[in-house]
Structure 1
Amino acid sequence: MFSKDSKKPGERVVSERNVIGGNTKIVGEIVSEGDFRIDGTLEGNIKTNGRIIIGEAGLVKGKAECTNADVEGKFAGDLQVSNVLTVKATANITGEVIIGKLSVEPGATFNATCSMKGAVKELKKNEQKKTEKSA
């Protein structure tokens, strides 16, 4: 009658947690469904449906796609975050960033071209309402 498994049919639960340690350097492409914490160096691409955390000593050069991201270290390249990007005070981000929402702590270095997907949707909705009223 009562089940501890609240998963709906066809729904995947992301429970994997992966760590790239401080003295580790990876060159290549990573594809995963789970979360990643990067305290070492990644030169290449990473794609996950989970969260990417770049630790204070972490460095990522390349392209990253994820649902949420917390950056404390360095990122250079293309970053696409479908929900929330949190930029900590120790972070240094350069490149092109596409996000849903952005949180930046004072002290962070954010030298990137930034596009916010949610704002574009709202602008399009507002433009449609204006054209409907004027028509």
Structure 2
Amino acid sequence: MDCMFKKIAKQGGDIQFDDVETIIGPSVKLEGEFQSKGNVMVSGVLIGKLETSENVRIETNAQIEGDITAREAIIAGNVHGNIIIAQHLSLLSSAKITGDITAGSIAIQQGAQMNGKCSMVATVEPKPADVKQNAASVMQDTTELL
């Protein structure tokens, strides 16, 4: 288990997992929305959304049924949901992804499986629902000024 807490090499730098704040262990099944401001490692089952402003590591036997949003991520397990990574995403050879991926950069090991769209962008843009909500807010503010 020590290997999970070490730096993981990636092109252009390292993803830090020295200070994992939350571990969802192999015997844990968690349902609901999970939010964190620290590094998160999942070895168990998560049914719901996972959001962190830091890094995520999904271990080989882990299963995620929901969307993942993080700064950087390493995925070795199964994810059925959309993945939004602001910087770097590494898909290890055992990764199985069903869903769309948006990331700043992506490394995919031979053997990793993906079923969905993949986009690499310099910055992660807000979801369409957020854009509509912001546009409606601007329209309301403009109307109030008149």
What TM-score range do you get, normalising by the shorter chain? 0.7 to 0.9
- For structure 1, the 5+ residue unaligned runs are 1-14, 121-135
Q: 2:36 and 2:107 mapped to 1: Cα distance?
A: 25
TM-score by length of 2: 0.69
| Partner residue in 2 for 1:131 | none
Q: 2:79 aligns with which of 55, 75, 82?
A: 75
Query: Structure 1 CA distance, aligned partners of 2:20 and 2:57?
Result: 14
Query: 1:86 is matched with which residue?
Result: 90
Among 118, 122, 125, the residue aligned to 2:122:
118
2:44 corresponds to which residue? 40
Q: Retained in 2: the 8 A contact 1:100–1:117? A: yes
Runs of 4+ in 1 over 2 A off after TM superposition: none
- Aligned sequence identity (%): 27
Report the Cα offset of residue 16 of structure 1.
5.1
Pair 1:39–1:16, CA change in 2 (3 A): closer
Relative to its length, the structure with more strand (as a share) is: 1
Cα displacement (A) at 1:118: 2.3
Deviations 1:80-109 (A, max 9, x none): 000000000011011111110000000111
Gaps of 5+ in 2: 1-18, 125-146
Task: Tell me which amino acid in the other structure corresponds to 1:51.
Answer: N
TM-align CA RMSD? 1.6
Aligned residues of 2:86 and 2:123 also touching (Cα < 8 A) = no
